Structures are given as C-alpha cells and as structure tokens.
Structure 1
C-alpha cells in the first residue's frame, strides 16, 4: 500500500443470528449497501462491530466472509486489538491469509499502561505483524489517550495511519500539523462531526458509524470537504447533525450510537439487530420511533414499520 488510506470507511456492524453466530445473508446485504453507497473501505471488528465481545470463531468467520464478499473492491481493515499478546499476533496472521489489507490496533485493554509502555509494546509487536497497521486512539475504551510522541514512535516503526476517536480536536490538530510533511501517513477521523474540519485541514478520511446507515451521505460530505465546497459542506453537515440528534440520542446509554445504528439497519431490512450481551437491541416501542425518524431523514425502506 503505497498511497495513503483515505475516504469514508464505515466501522461495519456485525450481523448476528439469535445464537450469536454470524448472519452471512445479513452480512452480504450490509456490504452490498455500503459498496453501493460508494464507500472507500470497510473496517470490521471495531467498536461498532462489537469486536471485543465476539467469540473468536465468529471473528474469524467474519474476516473470511467479508474478504470474500468485498473481493478487493475496497480495502478491508481488521481490528485485532486484544488483551492477549499471542491472540493479537494470531488474528493478524489470520486476517492476512484471508485477504485483508490493513490491521487496526488500539492499546490493549484491561491493564492501565503508560505512553512509554505503549511504545515498548509496539516496538515488540509491529515486527510480528504481516500487514500495514493503523494505530487506533480510543481512550474511552482503552484508558490511554495516545500522545504525539507515541504516535511519532509508532510511525517510525512503520505504522501507516492513525484512527483518532479521542474526541480531542486540539490534540488531533497538533498531530495533523506534525505529520503534514509525511505524504504516506493517513490521519483518519473517528468522530463524524469532526470529519469536515479534519479533511479541510490535512486529514485523509473518516471512520463514521453513521455511514452504516447513510453511506452516500458521508461520501458526498467527504467529496465536498476535500474540494472545499463550503456551501455543500454546511448543508450535508447539517444532515449529519440531524442523524446525531434524532437517531443516536434516542437512547441515553453510553453505547447509544452503537445500538441505534444496528437497530436502524434492522428497521431498514438490511440485517438483524441482535447484539452480544451485555448490549441489547432497542425494544419494539423505540424501533417504531426510530423508523419514523429514519423516514424523516430520507430512508424510504422501513421494513414494515409504519410512518405514524
């Protein structure tokens, strides 16, 4: 991969059956929906994909089936973050053999670690990994907010990109400034509302959960942002804000957006909203409200839920 990772890369949800096995039909529907929407890549086994909650058999099958269905149409990014050192390496090699293009790695969760410990971890781990690595900053789930020194050290070890889900726009601007002379390093926003700001100030793309629902909306916003079409950016950004306020805020749990995105896909008839405990899908009363709001946002297919 000589060119930077870029564009709209949905953190794909994982379609599941009631027995928590992979729903392959739902996966085919979802990938088709995303590709038809014009996305530039697909990220599996991330936060929206409930990656850390899935059994390893399901993770492996998801990797294999996703790579088979996508078949090289766009890059496939696979989350390999784990608390187990050996499992990270094992899943990395499995992803490479299945045909994935990138590995996504966050700090190992459970034990709090320092920046220096993270650098030491990467120094030992990166040489063991067979694919280009995207380092993932998501302190809300890992206890560590990667600083500039750590990211610079990771870059020297060969990582190809940063996925920033820290919510710290000031730190992100500092990182973008530090890497502005590096044409082969990608900076990918993880916060949807930061997307335009990041793209118009040297960033390369976005991993947007809402692109599971509205892939083409985010693709259009990406194109308007890189072209600095401010009028179109303002109009499309307003739609993203509506998505945040009307869909994600339907529930007040810490995982509200994850639940809302998966339930939206169920309402749209793309895949089920079965989730891995302790997460739960919305009850039918909320799904009816969700269907109404999706209809108002332009989703015409509402899988039998009446707009009333």
Structure 2
C-alpha cells in the first residue's frame, strides 16, 4: 500500500527544482527598479541578458511576471508574489554573508569606503584611536564617493545621502551635515561684522568645487540669506577648495566635520557659524549589522567621534 506522500519521482507534482540564481537576481533587480536597463546596469549585464533571463523564468514558471508597456515594465500579481519572496531570500543571503565577513575579519581586511575629503580631513586623523580600541579588527580604508556596489569587494561605506542608494542597503545615520563659510583669520576683512550680525561682503572671493557646485546656494537657503550667484575660483574637489581657504585664496563653504580640526586649532574661522543643510552622513552595509560584529563596533566608534 502506498501512502499519499508517495508518488512518481518524475511527476510534475513532485518537481521542487528552483530557477537559476542568476535568473532570480535579474528578475529581482528588474522588479525593484521596474526597468530592465537600470537592472542591467546594476548587475553589469546587457539589457538583452536581463530580458532573456526574465523571459526564461516566465517560460519556466508558465506565467507572465511583468506587463511590458513601451519602455516600462510593471509587475503582475504573480510577479509581486515572486518579487517579495526573492527579495526576502536575497536579503537573508546578504545578512549571512555580511555576518560571516564581519565575524571572520581575520581572513582578510574589511574594506571601508569613505568619501575622499571626509576620509582625509576627518577619519584618518582619528583612525589611530579606533585601532587602539579594536586591535582585533583589521580594516582597509579606501576613498570613494557617490554610487558603489558591495559586489565589488566593499564591506562598508560612509556616504552623504545626496544620491539614491538601493533599498536593500542598510543605512545607519552617523551625523547631520552642518556647513558655513570659512576663511583664514587674517582675511576677516571679507566679512561685514556689525554688532549682532555678520555678512559676507559682495566682493569677497568665493571658492567653488565641481563635486558640490551648489554648496553656496544650499548654505544660503539653510541659513536664510538671499541666494546670489557669485563668480569665484573653482576647484576639482572639495578638499582643494578647503586647502585654498587655508592658503588665503578666498572663502569656502566648509562642512563642520571637514573643517572642525582647522577651526579648533585656529587655522580657519567661521564668522557666520554653521547651519544644518538637511543632509546626513550614513554608514552603509549590505545588511543590518550584527550586534557584536566589527561593523557594530565601527558604528559605535564613529558616532562617538562625531
């Protein structure tokens, strides 16, 4: 006698095979972005490769996962069911990989990517303190700004939230950005200083940077000053504009954490103080940090330094 759980091993009713992981990754990226081209760019594949992977997945399952309209794609009901499951499964995999990497840091140095100017002017000067507190953690610091991928060997990243990152990334806020005009103490003649108020003179030389071209306008809005277009010397990176201010070439917009050491040592002054500009710096990881892992220790230290 056969029980109900017994049956023909070759029967379709007993087919528990899963689709290929690559097909599921292509589908998940396309479902999250609702755009095959963006999914292809994220996965470093061609549009055709992603489209074929999704089509093969649909053929294997026997259902349509997307409605295709012109250049946009939209999830069907079946697509939404699968998207939730695949996203949850990939998140579990990312969490496991992150925990393994952060727990087994002795196998290779953990890679922390940090925006270049923040790395040079704030993080590196304080890094010996982290090493003294956590000699068991080996971490490699690299400079990098803007978009990045954890698939390229980065374990953790510090970024300002001025660009969209994938929803799957886990973000922990480190500190709020505060900015203000800074110059050398012997260049205060560029400011109109009266009792109870300080303002930048119209002919004061302003320093600009390509990486944050709207810094002056954003500061004016945050501080409640009129927004005015002003010509001035431009530099490729924020670091150079701050060094130019130290050299006495003009007035730069200085984020507090990038100029704090210079202000406290008297190398620079901020006659109008600092105001929050609405942005934040975050520590990004591929999954939530384990409570006793290297990532959590780094997070606690970073917050203590801010």
How high is the TM-score relative to the length of structure 2? 0.19
Instruction: Determine which structure has the larger helix proportion and give its number.
Output: 1
Instruction: Determine which structure has the larger strand proportion and give its number.
Output: 2
How high is the TM-score relative to the length of structure 1? 0.19
